[in-house]
Amino acid sequence: MAKIGNIDVGDFPLLLAPMEDVSDPPFRALCKEQGADVVYTEFISSEGLIRDAAKSVMKLDIYEKERPVGIQIFGANLDSMLQSVEIVEASGPDIIDINFGCPVKKVVSKGAGAGILKDIDLMVSLTEAMVKHTKLPVTVKTRLGWDEKTIMIKEVAERLQDVGCQAISIHGRTRAQMYKGSADWKPIAEVKNNPRMHIPVFGNGDVDTPERAMEMRDKYGLDGAMIGRASIGYPWFFKEVKHYFKTGKHALPPTMEERVEAARRHLQMSIDWKGEKLGVFETRRHYTNYFKGIPDFKPYRMKMVTSDDSADVFAAFDEVLQKFGDHQFV
């Protein structure tokens, strides 16, 4: 059984990755229903939190049905990070996660996210200070290194553990790779197999089939899998992985009725949480995967992703169910 601090997260837990404009409360709720063991919020700027920026503060919203839930923050300034920990604590999460892996230029240019991989001493000292500043378990999400010449993840993970980090999630790419090429899980396995390591080591990157999740567990010996892109518009991925672990067989894919119902609930929850305009806009990215593999679907998808009126999107869902209700997914 893997444990994050005193939180039992199960045998080889599946974790929903923190993804900007994806891992919001509506989507986390759907993933939790479909078997995600731990969910994380979108990453939140520590500077935004201490300045009471509306978008950052809104991301602190969490609900009882999500637990255990982690709030992820990023930044490179010690004072700002410590102040943000206090703000985060007030929201009542189970875990505080630090983002040391985001490769996006606007984050990296400020020395945050994966930018801190250029200064491992700062990475460790920030983590240590945050651990001392909260009673909640502190975890870290990071990458293998800045580039292939600076991969020191085995040493980095040891140092983070030594200052009190309670679990580490490692994306199997460097910052230089961004999301290109294939994730390399071998260095993550080296971290896990280091006899000095005793905290959970979770793998991230290219876990896009149940077979890949099983490979991460059985071949690489990791403690759990963090799921990112494979879950976008497809919250059933968690359930399907668990079914495969249990039976060795693929679960039947969700029916058209189940897909439409999930998309409808997703949109309604988003509107309830963000309001009409943002709710409609930020749910669009999910529709391609909700309805992937349907022939001649483009006109319906275009309605879903171009309409600014939720009534039109809900109407498109009804049309899809009426026209493609007997479509068999494979």
- The yes-or-no verdict on residue 329 having pLDDT over 80 is yes
Tell whether the model's pLDDT for residue 328 goes beyond 90.
Answer: no
Contact 98, 88 (CB under 8 A): no
What the block records as the tokens of 300 is 């319906």
Render pLDDT for 156-181 as a digit per residue (tens, 0 to 9): 999 999 999 999 999 999 998 888 98
- Range of lowest pLDDT (36-45, 101-110, 120-129, 155-164): 101-110
Helix H or strand E encompassing 128:
helix 120-133
Question: Measured between alpha carbons, how far is 152 from 187 in angstroms, rounded to an integer?
Answer: 9
Q: Catalytic one among 102, 120, 156, 216?
A: 102
pLDDT at 325: 84
Per DSSP, the three-state class of 99 is strand
Residue 102 designated active-site? yes
pLDDT over threshold 80, residue 71? yes
Q: What are the backbone angles phi and psi of residue 171, rounded to the nearest 5°?
A: -85, 130
Q: Is 254 helix (H, G, I), strand (E, B) or coil?
A: coil
Q: Quick one: pLDDT at residue 17?
A: 96
154, 189 in Cβ contact below 8 A? no
- Own/partner contacts of 316-321, CB < 8 Å, gap of 24 or more, are 317/260, 317/263, 317/264, 320/256, 320/260, 320/291, 321/256, 321/257, 321/260
pLDDT digits (tens, 9 = 90+) for 116-161: 999 999 999 999 999 999 999 999 999 999 988 989 999 999 999 9
Average pLDDT for residues 45-60, to the nearest whole number? 90
pLDDT category at 111 given cuts 50, 70, 90 is confident
- For 210-230, the pLDDT digits (tens) are 999 999 999 999 999 999 999
Q: Is 178 left (phi over 0), alpha (psi -120 to 50) or beta?
A: left
- Is pLDDT at 312 greater than 80 in this prediction? yes
Beta bridge partners of 171: 143, 204
Q: DSSP class of residue 275?
A: -
Is pLDDT at 330 greater than 80 in this prediction?
Answer: no
Where do runs of H (alpha helix) occur along 166-275? 186-192, 210-218, 237-247, 256-274
Q: Is the pLDDT of residue 299 over 90?
A: yes
Mean predicted confidence (pLDDT) in 256-261? 95
Average pLDDT value over all residues in the chain = 94
Sign of torsion over alpha carbons 159, 164, 166, 169: negative
